[in-house]
């Protein structure tokens, strides 16, 4: 049997599941060579310092992509038929 809910309220918020990062992850990626800083939770300073040091060691590498990752979850709002179920 398939159930179709034509109109139901949902909420979008931070992911709170066990093991999910509580804050955004920050990372730098060199757009010249593709090297990456590695992700740090909650602070962008290590990614910024990595980019500066990377250019220091590779003077022609001056362009970077800031990669910021956050995690979201969708939950049924009160009154949504799924609000009584556990995923």
pLDDT of 25 = 97
Phi and psi at residue 54, in whole multiples of 5°? -65, -45
41 inside domain? yes
> Is 2 buried (19+), middle (13-18) or exposed (0-12) by CB count in 10 A?
exposed
5 inside domain? no
What's the structural domain count of the chain? 1
Lowest mean pLDDT among 2-6, 10-14, 46-50, 63-67: 2-6
Provide the residue range defining the domain that includes 67.
23-71
Q: What is the mean pLDDT of the chain?
A: 91
54, 78, 82 from 5: Cα distances, Å: 52, 14, 10
48 inside domain? yes
């Amino acid at each position: 049997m398939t159930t179709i809910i034509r109109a139901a309220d949902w909420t979008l918020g931070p992911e709170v599941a066990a093991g999910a990062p509580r804050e955004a992850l920050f990372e730098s990626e060199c757009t010249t060579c593709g090297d990456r800083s590695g992700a740090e939770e909650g602070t962008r300073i290590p990614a910024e310092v990595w980019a500066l040091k990377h250019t220091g060691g590779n003077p022609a590498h001056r362009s970077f992509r800031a990669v910021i990752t956050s995690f979201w979850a969708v939950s049924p709002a009160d009154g949504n038929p799924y609000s009584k179920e556990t995923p």
